[in-house]
């Protein structure tokens, strides 16, 4: 629905560059239409924009030499991990060369003693967790999709576990990054903390490939808790559910996950996952800790939920029950799509201070009703972050216009409540119009100054976050 | 002992600037020797370097107009909070105007529902915690000194609680910052997480006043745990103590503090605080949580300590006993100074991955013995961070040379073990020589490019972190 500005007057790759890349990379250099199309779209509804060529890179040195070559020809470069971004991050809207990092999928080191690991950027979170099998450790960041860790760093991803374990911001210790001219830098390190110079790691996490390409990451791991239990609880209305969340957070219960789904999302899940959950606003909880601590947390939460008219508080201690519950939660996106066959999903992503969460959701629910949108709600409400899956018929101009206007009102509402236009999906193409509204133009000028300092020719994933 | 490069050819403040500042700020503008001397030294042993003038600012707008005026005359500006930095951060080695922010000490908002607060930069951590009285919340970052929060953000401070609550990096949500030309920006926000644009907050946290001056901060608060208990345990040697730490961390015990002191530090403490602790390597623990969880944590740690020959595991549950214990720990720095009256303390600050901690400390202890230095050890070992307090007679060239050579060997050792030259004190003047060794010159070039982009005339706290 957001039509990117396609540079239609754009020339193909300079012949000298194409020849150099083909000579160097052989059949790992492709201009085949299928490869270009596959690498020109993500999971969003943004109009695809294929790159001019795709290279399947296998090492940091290769990425460096591709970037250096493109730099000498002033050709854009775009990194591609798993293709699961949600704001058009990887669309080649100014053409250029896509560097596919999915082949850089080696887990380079797992250090159980230090609770960290070093991986190539193409390693996915599921692959990492499989590799951690037998170590007693896990990597908690879980954005739903099986994204690559490089992509997750680039977009500052988070997900259901962030309320306890933080986002990529807190869980990347250091990175190897290729800069716009091909130089390779290492940021951060393996010490748990450091006060040595500017925090380049945190600057690059969330920079969406516009400052450099992440090729390796050292990340924090966490001990798999001795005990895990889940629970699900329905509420008569969203306000009571949200007030439960607020009280749980304020009491400092170290809850691992606390997810809200509205009645419509529950309906979608019941249909899709063959569950028979009550079709009412519902919280999904997960508790991590020692057996005693988990029981204590769950009891505390059950009491809080009961005081907010929570119904059917239902424990799931057996792993298979927990898995079924969370699988249903994870499938919510696809379940929601099933509510309106043929529809595109436009996913919103605001995040507000938790004291404003009830207001923000209530106003939003009223707005949905008035807009006659079909838009189930799912959210990482422990962080104040919630998504609406706007089910939009892409061929209906009314649907598209209505969803766009609604998204704008939602972002403006969240910003009025001191929130952010994106809790975890990033700016990409879709949220650029809100960036200055959120941060003010002086702060955006600082971001632009940094971009110009590190990428003066605007070759690193150009057209994302802001126009330089 | 590290003699800063004094710009002796430096002219005094341009008369037009001095007149403009005097006219605007009246008796809050001072060139009195006492004010200049007071603002030209911190708690380190670096040679003082007084600014040309001091202004006691009262608002962000005032800071902005001072910085803009100085910018138009190309005169350096240095922010001053509580003067407790340890690497010469606030020395006016190129002269200029010191902006004292200690009068900007208003707590602007406390929002218990959101677990956050907004404060002016001059608010100190003790003042903030006093203001939080009755809210059930606290601000955990505790670098020992009663530093200002602006200064703590500027140096990315941490301290004893970081193993559980993180450092300033994790606990600053957003800031108001005055840039080199006087522009005011807001970074971050009040949402718990955001993926909206470059993370300017994290770039500025730890930038030591070289990119901008923090005038306001929004910080995370944490619920005061329902139960707190402390414990102390002596070990036959440092290796057993460190192995206890490693196992505690690896098991995921959510310990709030875990501090190591060596036998010499214990001797100093016993003398200074009139305690009668065993003069052996000792761990100080603190546990936060529900009563049941705290008891469980302590029992787990006691078992681990026993399996590493821990002796005299001693609980302190009563608040007065806990306070006495931690007061003794907090006084360790002054206690250590008492071991060699008249000595200066040169404090080291390396931090290594925890698997290397035993090696690093053992090699360091052997090095101390060989160097004949008097150097008690205290450390936030849960993070892999430890300090030696090198007691140096400033009039003894042998002492000074010996301490410098030792510090260099220690940093090189930590870097060999993939650690950092500074876990929490920052680079300032003292650690500049190690920065490229730690990060590599390509990464430092990126830091320099950012510095030049935001402060092209090198007016913000010039001469700190690196030469641009």
pLDDT band at A314 (very low <50, low <70, confident <90, very high): confident
CA distance A96 to chain B (A): 23
pLDDT tens digits for range A251-275: 889 999 999 999 999 999 999 999 8
A342 DSSP assignment: T
CB-based contact B198 A179, cutoff 8 Å: no
Q: Is B306 contained in some domain? A: yes
More confident residue, B166 or B12: B166
Among A166, A191, A465, the residue with its CB nearest the CB of B353 is A191
pLDDT tens digits for range B173-212: 999 999 999 999 999 999 999 999 999 999 999 999 999 9
Residue A121 sits at φ, ψ, to 5 deg, of -65, -25
CA distance B357 to chain A (A): 10
Among A193, A424, A427, the residue with its CB nearest the CB of B193 is A424
Q: Is A250 contained in some domain? A: yes
The average pLDDT across B376-400 equals: 94
Helix A432-439 to helix A441-454 angle, to the nearest 10 degrees? 120
Chain B residues with CB under 8 Å of A435 CB are 196-197
The average pLDDT across B353-360 equals: 94
Among A114, A170, A246, the residue with its CB nearest the CB of B353 is A114
> Which of B432, B396, B465, B461 is closest to B80 using CA atoms?
B461
Instruction: For residues B150 and B200, state if they share a domain.
Output: yes
Instruction: For residues A123 and A216, state if they share a domain.
Output: yes
Q: Are B248 and B301 in contact (CB under 8 A)?
A: yes
Instruction: For residues A146 and A58, state if they share a domain.
Output: no
CB-based contact B223 A465, cutoff 8 Å: no
CB-based contact B170 A167, cutoff 8 Å: no
Among B111, B203, B453, the residue with its CB nearest the CB of A355 is B111
Q: Which CB contacts under 8 angstroms, 24+ apart, belong to B100-104? A: B100/B39, B100/B54, B100/B55, B100/B56, B100/B57, B101/B57, B101/B63, B101/B148, B101/B150, B101/B213, B101/B215, B102/B56, B102/B148, B103/B56, B103/B57, B103/B58, B104/B57, B104/B58, B104/B59, B104/B60, B104/B150, B104/B215
- The dihedral sign for the CA sequence A373, A156, B217, B331: positive
Residue A41 sits at φ, ψ, to 5 deg, of -145, 150
CB contact set of B395 (below 8 Å; sequence gap of 6+): none
CA distance A23 to chain B (A): 29
Predicted local distance difference test score (pLDDT) of residue A9? 54
CB-based contact B111 A420, cutoff 8 Å: no
Among B167, B289, B439, the residue with its CB nearest the CB of A186 is B439
Specify the number of domains making up chain A: 3
Predicted local distance difference test score (pLDDT) of residue B4? 39
Predicted local distance difference test score (pLDDT) of residue B1? 39
Question: Hey, of A44, A115, A193, which one would you mutate to test binding to chain B, going by the most B CBs within 10 A of its CB?
Answer: A193
Highest mean pLDDT: which range of A344-348, B53-57, B275-279: B53-57
CB-based contact A454 B450, cutoff 8 Å: yes
A151 DSSP assignment: H
CB-based contact A156 B195, cutoff 8 Å: yes
H-type alpha helices, A251-380 = 263-273, 291-307, 319-330, 332-337, 357-371
CB-based contact A290 B293, cutoff 8 Å: yes
pLDDT at A4 over 50: no
d(CA B387, CA B143) in angstroms, rounded, equals 12
pLDDT tens digits for range B60-93: 999 999 999 999 999 999 999 999 999 999 999 9
Instruction: For residues B283 and B341, state if they share a domain.
Output: no
The average pLDDT across A27-52 equals: 96
pLDDT band at A299 (very low <50, low <70, confident <90, very high): very high
Predicted local distance difference test score (pLDDT) of residue A331? 86
CB-based contact A425 B195, cutoff 8 Å: yes
pLDDT at A458 over 70: yes
The average pLDDT across A372-390 equals: 95
Instruction: For residues B115 and B84, state if they share a domain.
Output: no
d(CA A436, CA A454) in angstroms, rounded, equals 21
CB-based contact A203 B206, cutoff 8 Å: no
Chain B residues with CB under 8 Å of A254 CB are 254
Predicted local distance difference test score (pLDDT) of residue B9? 54
Q: Is B2 contained in some domain? A: no
Domain boundary among A188, A223, A258: A223
Chain B residues with CB under 8 Å of A431 CB are 196
pLDDT at B308 over 60: yes
Chain A residues with CB under 8 Å of B184 CB are 442
- Answer left, alpha or beta for residue A53, where phi above 0 means left and psi between -120 and 50 means alpha: beta
**Containing structural domain, residue A314:** 227-335
CB-based contact B355 A111, cutoff 8 Å: yes
| Domain CATH number, residue A54 | 3.30.43.10
The average pLDDT across A288-294 equals: 92
Predicted local distance difference test score (pLDDT) of residue A10? 65
The average pLDDT across A135-148 equals: 95
Predicted local distance difference test score (pLDDT) of residue A2? 41
Residue B326 sits at φ, ψ, to 5 deg, of -75, -25
CA distance B33 to chain A (A): 32
Instruction: For residues A207 and A238, state if they share a domain.
Output: no
Q: How much is the mean pLDDT over chain A?
A: 94
CB-based contact B202 A444, cutoff 8 Å: no
Q: Are B164 and B148 in contact (CB under 8 A)?
A: no
Q: Is A92 contained in some domain? A: yes
Predicted local distance difference test score (pLDDT) of residue A77? 98
Q: How many CB pairs under 8 A join A and B?
A: 286
The average pLDDT across B307-323 equals: 87
The average pLDDT across B380-404 equals: 94
d(CA A163, CA B138) in angstroms, rounded, equals 19
CB-based contact B187 A158, cutoff 8 Å: no
Predicted local distance difference test score (pLDDT) of residue B10? 64
Burial of A397 (0-12, 13-18, 19+ CB in 10 A): exposed
CA distance B12 to chain A (A): 30
| Domain CATH number, residue A284 | 3.30.70.2190
Predicted local distance difference test score (pLDDT) of residue B7? 45
pLDDT band at B320 (very low <50, low <70, confident <90, very high): confident
d(CA B428, CA B357) in angstroms, rounded, equals 25
pLDDT tens digits for range A150-171: 999 999 999 999 999 999 999 9
Chain A residues with CB under 8 Å of B44 CB are none
d(CA A48, CA B300) in angstroms, rounded, equals 55
Q: Is B411 contained in some domain? A: yes
Q: Kindly report the CA angle at A59 between A147 and A130, in degrees rounded to 5?
A: 40
Percent of chain B with pLDDT over 90: 88
Instruction: For residues A126 and A202, state if they share a domain.
Output: yes
CB-based contact A446 B194, cutoff 8 Å: no
Predicted local distance difference test score (pLDDT) of residue B3? 38
Half-sphere exposure of B113 (CA within 13 A, CB side): 14
pLDDT tens digits for range A392-444: 999 999 999 999 999 999 999 999 999 999 999 999 999 999 999 999 999 99
Domain boundary among A69, A100, A131: A100
Predicted local distance difference test score (pLDDT) of residue A319? 82
Instruction: For residues A122 and A218, state if they share a domain.
Output: yes
Q: Is B437 contained in some domain? A: no
Predicted local distance difference test score (pLDDT) of residue B5? 41
Predicted local distance difference test score (pLDDT) of residue A5? 41
Predicted local distance difference test score (pLDDT) of residue B322? 84
Predicted local distance difference test score (pLDDT) of residue A372? 87
Among B114, B186, B385, the residue with its CB nearest the CB of A353 is B114
Percent of chain B with pLDDT over 70: 98
Chain A residues with CB under 8 Å of B111 CB are 353, 355
Instruction: For residues B396 and B300, state if they share a domain.
Output: no
Predicted local distance difference test score (pLDDT) of residue B204? 98
Chain A residues with CB under 8 Å of B202 CB are 169, 199, 202-203
pLDDT at A325 over 70: yes
Among B166, B185, B206, the residue with its CB nearest the CB of A198 is B206
Among A166, A193, A250, the residue with its CB nearest the CB of B383 is A193
| Domain CATH number, residue A185 | 3.30.465.10
H-type alpha helices, B92-215 = 125-131, 149-154, 162-165, 168-171, 200-204
- Rg (C-alpha) for chain A, rounded Å, is 22
Instruction: For residues A319 and A252, state if they share a domain.
Output: yes
Predicted local distance difference test score (pLDDT) of residue B194? 97
Q: Is A80 contained in some domain? A: yes
Chain A residues with CB under 8 Å of B199 CB are 156, 169, 202-203, 205-206
CB-based contact A421 B385, cutoff 8 Å: no
pLDDT tens digits for range B100-124: 999 999 999 999 999 999 999 999 9
The average pLDDT across A301-307 equals: 97
Q: Is A290 contained in some domain? A: yes
CB-based contact A250 B113, cutoff 8 Å: yes
Instruction: For residues A131 and A233, state if they share a domain.
Output: no
Domain boundary among A100, A116, A139: A100
d(CA A448, CA A323) in angstroms, rounded, equals 44
Predicted local distance difference test score (pLDDT) of residue A435? 96
Instruction: For residues B252 and B296, state if they share a domain.
Output: yes
CB-based contact A435 B197, cutoff 8 Å: yes
């Amino acid at each position: 629905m957001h039509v990117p500005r396609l540079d239609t007057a754009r020339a193909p790759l300079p012949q000298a560059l194409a020849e150099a890349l083909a000579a160097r990379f052989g059949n790992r250099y492709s201009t085949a239409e299928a490869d270009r199309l596959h690498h020109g779209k993500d999971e969003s509804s943004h109009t695809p924009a294929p790159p001019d060529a795709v290279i399947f890179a296998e090492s940091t040195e290769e990425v460096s030499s591709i970037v250096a070559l493109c730099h000498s020809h002033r050709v854009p470069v775009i990194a591609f991990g798993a293709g699961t971004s949600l704001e058009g991050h990887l669309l080649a809207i100014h053409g250029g060369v896509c560097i596919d990092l999915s082949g850089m999928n080696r887990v380079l080191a797992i250090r159980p003693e230090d609770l960290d690991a070093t991986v190539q950027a193409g390693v996915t979170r599921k692959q990492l967790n499989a590799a951690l099998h037998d170590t007693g450790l896990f990597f908690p960041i879980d954005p739903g999709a099986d994204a690559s860790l490089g992509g997750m760093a680039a977009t500052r991803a988070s997900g259901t576990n962030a309320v306890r374990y933080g986002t990529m911001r807190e869980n990347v210790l250091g990175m190897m990054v290729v800069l716009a001219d091909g130089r390779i830098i290492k940021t951060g390190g393996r010490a748990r903390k450091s006060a040595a110079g500017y925090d380049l790691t945190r600057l690059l996490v969330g920079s969406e490939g516009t400052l450099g390409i992440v090729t390796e990451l050292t990340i924090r791991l966490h001990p798999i808790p001795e005990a895990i239990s889940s629970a699900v609880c329905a509420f008569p209305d969203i306000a009571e559910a949200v007030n439960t969340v607020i009280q749980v957070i304020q009491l400092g219960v170290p809850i691992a996950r606390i997810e809200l789904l509205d009645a419509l999302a529950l309906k979608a899940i019941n249909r899709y996952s063959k569950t028979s959950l009550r079709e009412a606003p519902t919280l999904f909880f997960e508790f991590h800790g020692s057996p005693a601590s988990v029981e204590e947390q769950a009891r505390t939460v059950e009491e809080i939920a009961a005081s907010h008219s929570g119904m059917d508080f239902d424990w799931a201690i057996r792993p298979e029950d927990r898995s079924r519950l969370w699988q249903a939660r994870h499938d919510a996106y696809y379940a929601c799509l099933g509510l309106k066959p043929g529809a595109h999903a436009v996913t919103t992503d605001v995040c507000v201070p938790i004291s404003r969460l009830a207001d923000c959701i209530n106003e939003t629910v009223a707005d949905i009703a008035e807009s006659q949108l079909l838009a189930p709600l799912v959210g990482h409400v422990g962080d104040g972050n919630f998504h609406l899956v706007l089910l939009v018929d892409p061929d209906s101009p009314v649907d598209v216009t209505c969803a766009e206007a609604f998204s704008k009102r939602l972002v403006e509402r969240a910003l009025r409540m001191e929130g952010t236009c994106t809790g975890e999906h990033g700016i990409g193409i879709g949220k650029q119009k809100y960036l200055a509204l959120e941060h003010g133009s002086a702060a955006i000028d600082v971001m632009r100054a940094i971009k110009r300092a590190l990428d003066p020719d605007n070759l690193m994933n150009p057209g994302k976050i802001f126009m330089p």
